[in-house]
Amino acid sequence: METCEGVLVSQGAEGRIFLVNFLSRPTIVKERFEKKYRHPALDAKLTKQRITTEVRCMARCRKAGIETPCVYFVDPRFNRIYMEYLADCITVKQFLYNHSQEGGPVEPTSDAVLSQLAHKLGLTISKMHDNDIVHGDLTTSNFMVRPSPTESLGSLVMIDFGLSYTSPVTEDKAVDLYVLERAFISTHPKSEHLFKEVLQAYSRGSRKAYAVLDKLSAVRQRGRKKSMIG
């Protein structure tokens, strides 16, 4: 595979993220690795399907009014997606850290801002699920806060749709929420009240919230049993 010319931003199990100059603008390139353990023809087919699904889910989210990075170009030859570089944005994970005691003194408006953040998270996820899109990796690292000159918080941008898919299945959406809940508990101590506010906003925003939240309780029970068994 031809080497992507740019600054390597991060690398994971599935691929690499580069910052490049594309069409005279800073651009993020997401490049998926070839899986050497798979037959080349099968790997090419599965990777193409995965990239297509990822881009389509992002497009469906944008159509539903959810902010995601704008996709500029898809290069199937090298398994790359060229998309908007989110300048001046920070992850929700970093935002929460900045507003915690560990991250420094809590501002007087911190509680109101964090409640606003939880509200926006819940509404954004509810809108996504009502359009039968499952993210597959909902964590506070996969939401970005885009600053606004007129708002204390700004807007939320959902990123990293590498595991996303479309599904009308209630349990798939409940698992999405469960993954986010575990991310809150493991990454942000004493943030349980914030996740409750996320679920309250989700309940108000989604037409199918009752069934999803009911299924979430069952998913939690399975998670607890798995933890006890090891």
Q: How far apart, in Å, are the Cα atoms of 83 and each of 31, 78, 86, 184, 186?
A: 11, 15, 9, 28, 30
Closest of 103, 85, 84, 83 to residue 93, by C-alpha: 103
Task: Name every residue whose Cβ is closer than 8 Å to that of residue 61 and which is 6 or more positions away in sequence.
Answer: 68, 128, 131, 133, 158, 161
Whether 182 contacts 224, CB under 8 Å: no
B/e letters for 129-156, b = 16+ CB within 10 Å, e = fewer, are bbeebbbbbbbbebbbbbeeeeeebbeb
Residues involved in catalysis: 137
Closest of 207, 195, 177 to residue 118, by C-alpha: 195
On the CB side of 228, CA atoms within 13 Å amount to: 6
